[in-house]
Amino acid sequence: MGFNPISSEKRAKITRIVYHLLAWIALWCVARYYSIPALTKDNHHVILLGATAVFLQSISVFYLLGYVVFPRFLYTRKIFPLIISLVIIFLLVHITNYHVFRHLASITNGSEQYPMYITKLWNFFQARSAWTSCFTDFDIAYTDYAWSLYYITPLLAIKVMRDIINSRTKNMQLEMERLQLEKANLNLQTQSLQLQKNNLNLELSFLKSQINPHFLFNTLNAIYTKTVDVDEQAADLVLKLSDLMRYSLYESSKENVVLSREISYIENYLDLERARFSDKVTIEYQLKGNAGEYLIAPLLLVSFVENAFKHGTAKSKYTSYVKLSIVLDNNTLYFKIKNNIPSHTRQSRPRANDERVGGFGLSNTSKRLQLLYPDRHKLSVQQTESEFSVDLEIELDPANVVHYFNS
């Protein structure tokens, strides 16, 4: 059985309760066995009832002032409600004392001829029985204070001082937290400025790097011009290669592209692979649906096509195949691609369920799908002894053609 340590807040609460109990036990002992017996010098019943009255009044006034009146009015500097509350409490103390002394006078050992302390107090209160006498008569007011409020005055002073210290400590902590938040905000602003600076440097580097792509495209155009009359097929391949590079360089930085641009890239890639492997590969490709009506993240589907040729046709010594199907149904894209696995690269043992299927590129593409299309895609990658297949479903956003070409 584990040990559950007591939290600091609960420990402080328990300590506070223990201190209160000890304080009230001490007050009872002082009132019952010292103050009231020495003051009244009366019988046991007078001493017990007098001590009980003082004890109960002290507890009631302490918690009423210390935990209700002072927090609501004194600490918040609401002077008028504070004065009204103090007047009402002092009046209740006076009325309570009036009835306490009347009862104690009926059981005291003193008499009119031989008056004792309680008899004198009762005669004193009875002679000035007006309910306002606690405010207009100093002797009555002093008697009420000395009998009911004298013992709790130091306790209330300690309570008020502790509340003030705790309040100032809390304010200091809040101020420190505020300063820490301001410091954190300044750090974030500094980091933001640094990121802006880095972005400007990247943009500058990107603008500088445009020289090389332009040079390459101009060179490819020159090759296309020189070969178009000599070998039309070779010139067409140069043109497709130029389109591939232009899409990779300029479209890949966008958040979304029209699906038809992505599919055009794939079609050009398939044509280059046909020319590269000639009769060595059989490529089956079909497209159904209007690809111009939807948007997709750039270079998302291409990695599956590249993977099929890289791990299938490129490693095969014999005739291989790649089968690609792209179907659009409403806003859902169904992408399926299969390729055979060359016999000399097949694994000698079955692949474990938890072993990763596909290469590093497919892993990155899967992560992109999770980030870009959470809860909007289904990806299934399977590998048998002789075939590798990918099935992908994506819910696409409709294309805003005007926004796309203006962006």
* DSSP 8-state assignment for residue 295: E
> pLDDT tens digits for 58-98?
999 999 999 999 999 988 889 999 999 999 999 999 989 88
Among residues 241, 245, 391, which one has the least CA distance to residue 326? Answer: 391
> pLDDT tens digits for 276-287?
777 788 889 999
Cα separation, 169 vs 189, whole angstroms = 30
Is the confidence at residue 262, as pLDDT, over 80? yes
Listed by start position, the domains of the chain span 8-151, 210-251, 252-406
Confidence band of 3 (pLDDT split at 50, 70, 90): very low
How is residue 356 written in tokens?
Answer: 């990763």
User: What SS3 state is found at 363?
Assistant: helix
Confidence band of 310 (pLDDT split at 50, 70, 90): confident
| Predicted model pTM | 0.46
**What is the structure's pLDDT at 192?**
83
Q: Any idea which architecture 252-406 has in CATH?
A: 2-Layer Sandwich (3.30)
Is the confidence at residue 144, as pLDDT, over 50? yes
- CB 399: neighbour CB atoms within 10 A? 20
Is the confidence at residue 209, as pLDDT, over 80? no
- Measured N-to-C along each axis, helices 79-107 and 117-127 cross at an angle, to the nearest 10 degrees, of 130
